[in-house]
A = this chain, B = another copy of it.
Amino acid sequence: MSHPHPELGPPPPLPDRTLRIVPLGGLGEIGRNMTVFEYGGKLLIVDCGVLFPEEEQPGIDLILPDFDYIRDRLDDVEALVLTHGHEDHIGAVPFLLRERPDIPLVGSRLTLALLSAKLGEHRIKPELVQVSEGERRSFGQFDCEFFSVNHSIPDALAVGIRTPGGSLLHTGDFKMDQLPLDGRLTDLAGFARFGAEGVDLLLSDSTNAEVPGFVTSERDIAGVIDNVFAKADKRIIVACFASHIHRVQQVLDAAHAHGRKVAFVGRSMVRNMNIARDLGYLSVPGGLLVDVKELDDLPPNEAVLVSTGSQGEPMSALTRMANRDHQIRIEKDDTVVLASSLIPGNENSVNRVINGLTRWGAKVVHKGNALVHVSGHSSAGELLYVLNMVRPRNFMPVHGEWRHLRAHAQLAMLTGVPEKQVVIAEDGVVVDLHKGRARIVGAVPAGYVYVDGTSVGDVTESALKDRRILGEEGFISVIVAVDSQSGKIIGEPEIHTRGSGIDVDAYDEVIPKIQDALEQAAADGITDPAQLRQLVRRGIGRWVNETYRRRPMIVPVVVEI
């Protein structure tokens, strides 16, 4: 089992008959999944997703994989395969296509439909290659076979890649619901057949590798939702992910059975459900759907809202309802169902939403008190099935933080993959597959690329560090005007402060000291603005720290007149 090698250098030139694997995202983190496969000077990419920022990345909208490694070789990209339509797999595609718009995008019907809608918003017209499960198709020397997999979005695919350098199976995200709503099973038989042929390397989804046992069937939620509908005699509001078409289907079915009408709320919910309905992934009984405005005319016990906002996003409809800041007014005995997972990091915001809704008298049903969500990722029990069916020569856990990758590696070893043939790599670590052996051979840059507003990559770690200090402590700016000829201070230093919590009047105490120090400096012939700024920074920094035990950012400005 390979361990992290912070000292890894750049990889050697790609040897002959070698398949190189370069994960640019998704290893050591949950999100921005992207893996580059190289053979014979050509590239195949699988997935190109975004990572959502945490509190460590304040003000950031999205985090992208670093495309630097492939930037000069974009013309060598044979295709970009998208395993399914979730943001952490397709979200960065618009940004990659800005650099080369005609990369062929390969995916299932639904995946490409969701991707096209997204690219349309970015005014990009992509080159699309639709594939289905069971299909085999070559992109240059990459001979790809697609397998159906079951996940929390329909029409997901795993991809087998055969090259003269070796063959591998990349599962994408998957679980193994044995009674899926759409009857579309994870193609374990296909995995077995490919395994029998000889799979040199398995890359498999590690998200739930720490969770023992098996994921409950999506179907088992139906009874719980039906029960909620049976008991509710006021309005029902269901919040879930806008991509979870099967979950929404179950809500529509329950609403239909209980004689209620449904309105969709939230831009992405409305957009995705239109796509899913048009393509036949969502079945909507006639007359079931109404516009949110028509809902007001219905008695509460005939109304259902299906909304985004299950993660307590500040601007979402649900959060605004919880704050009574939305046209939909939560009333006593309304029922709100959070039919989704709770993504780590969102606990506080979801908790605030639950408290807000409870305060107005709503009953809140969530995964903590009812089976209204099942995961989209295989648990350990299911991962073992895949390992035992594929019997890969080498194993590389993907899609997960360190804890998940390591747990998945343990599972692989339990099924008999030798420790030396289990490769735990993190983003940027380069793995070469040669003569049936996978080896770490180097590393390439794979840092975070931040999207903030319209710009990509110009917000640096140093700007984020400044934001963290400013966000904790605020700043104090001291402006000193200096005569550029004589070096003498003109007037009094002026102080501006925000977020420091220190009243401007308090500075009357320190301004004379700064003035004295500056006058002394002038007398000593010090006129270098950098030195003067340093003098001001030290003087006021020390005063704030001693008086208030705080460390706001000090911004000294010397204006030369």
Contacts and interface: CB of A to CB of B under 8 A. Distances in A.
A452 B550 contact: yes
Interface residues of A, number: 69
B347 A501 contact: no
A401 B354 CA distance: 10
Interface stretch (A150-158, A222-230, A358-366): A358-366
A4 B359 contact: yes
Contacts of A503: 458
Copies in the complex: 2
A371 interface: no
Interface string A473-512: 1110101010000000011001010111111000000000
Contact of A494 (B55, B460, B559): B559
A219 interface: no
A336 to B, nearest CB: 12
Interface string A432-474: 0000000000000000001011110011100110111011111
Contacts of A470: 467, 470-471, 474-475, 498-499
A58 B472 contact: yes
A293 interface: no
B548 A455 contact: yes
A499 B466 contact: yes
Interface string A49-79: 0000011001100000000000000000000
A403 B471 CA distance: 30
Contact of A55 (B348, B402, B559): B348
A70 B555 CA distance: 41
A402 B358 contact: yes
Contacts of A494: 557, 559
B498 A553 contact: yes
B452 A501 contact: yes
B475 A475 contact: yes
Nearest to A364: B403
A439 to B, nearest CB: 20
A475 B454 contact: no
B354 A453 contact: no
A351 interface: yes
Contacts of A54: 348
A559 B557 CA distance: 12
Contacts of A406: 358
A416 interface: no
A315 interface: no
A183 interface: no
A548 B474 CA distance: 23
A403 B358 contact: yes
A538 interface: no
B481 A472 contact: no
Contacts of A364: 403
A549 B561 CA distance: 34
B463 A354 contact: no
Nearest to A343: B347
Given A402-B359, A555-B496, A501 B460 contact: yes
A474 B463 contact: yes
A490 B472 CA distance: 35
Contact of A59 (B28, B332, B358, B472): B472
B549 A453 contact: yes
Interface in A400-424: 401-403, 406
Given A454-B548, A467-B499, A498-B553, 12 more contacts: A58-B471, A59-B474, A59-B499, A355-B403, A359-B402, A453-B548, A460-B501, A466-B499, A470-B475, A477-B477, A477-B496, A491-B559
11 contacts: A59-B474, A59-B499, A345-B347, A455-B501, A455-B548, A459-B501, A467-B473, A467-B474, A470-B471, A477-B555, A481-B559
